[in-house]
Structure 1
């Protein structure tokens, strides 16, 4: 049981690195055409082309559930749940708390919350794919925490 909990926690934290890497080198790289509408609203839809990345990681999570279900990978459930937990956290923090896609958590005034919003605001000050900063979600440069 302890191994599964450890794998779940490690997967969750590895996903922060994966989110940073994917955001910096894929979303702001060769798949910018899917991410651009997140930086510059060029549509009237609630959905963004950028939401495709959420679907991608959901599919990866489901694959690990299936690998576990069909007894191909015993720790597949822990990995799938770790990816799912990060995706849920991403949705709650990024889409709801930061971008207010649903009007919740508007009055959060904790120092970490302010720093998180500030770091993300610094990322969005660049409308193009170049010269970006703060590509992670939960971890960001300490200077934003100090200034919050």
Structure 2
């Protein structure tokens, strides 16, 4: 019975992270920390970009939830941290591998969801500055991008 609760916490956390990602992207990455995120919009030399530092920033809370959950024997904390980690992995897979193809895997995916994600992200990247952006979320795509 408790496993069902823990899996529910994991799923709820995973789904909630889309809202966290949207808020962080719109108000932090396109706001206060634009100086780091800008490299993702205007290009860069080499494989890595300043924007990649956000992966470490966003990994800290999930690591803390898991670590403190282990130390204090709190399964809820571990499952929250695991949901956050799973979202980060999904985001990396979709954003960096499928959309930006920083690693040349899954290059020939051709389904409605992948096309919609790519279309939404292309619309997001058409804005080279921090203002007037759109499509700040990522895994949940507005239905207008499916057309």
**2:123–2:134: 8 Å Cα contact kept in structure 1?**
yes
Q: What's the TM-score once normalised by structure 1's chain length?
A: 0.94
The offset of 1:72, in angstroms, is 6.0
Question: Could you tell me which residue of structure 2 aligns to residue 16 of structure 1?
Answer: 18
The root-mean-square deviation of aligned C-alpha atoms, in Å, is: 1.0
Cα distance in 2, alignment partners of residues 86 and 36 from structure 1 = 23
The offset of 1:73, in angstroms, is 3.7
User: Structure 1: which 5+ runs fail to align?
Assistant: none
Question: Could you tell me which residue of structure 1 aligns to residue 36 of structure 2?
Answer: 34
Structure 1 runs of 4+ aligned residues shifted over 3 Å read: none
**For residues 81-107 of structure 1, what are the alpha-carbon distances to aligned partners after superposition, in whole Å with 9 as ceiling and x for unaligned?**
101100100110000000010111111
Cα distance in 1, alignment partners of residues 100 and 112 from structure 2 = 18
Cα distance in 2, alignment partners of residues 92 and 21 from structure 1 = 20
Greater Cα offset, 107-116 or 68-77:
68-77
Cα distance in 2, alignment partners of residues 45 and 77 from structure 1 = 36
Alignment: residue pair count: 145
Question: Could you tell me which residue of structure 2 aligns to residue 124 of structure 1?
Answer: 125
User: Structure 2: which 5+ runs fail to align?
Assistant: none
Aligned counterparts, 1:68-147, within 5 A: 68-71=69-72, 73-145=74-146, 147=147
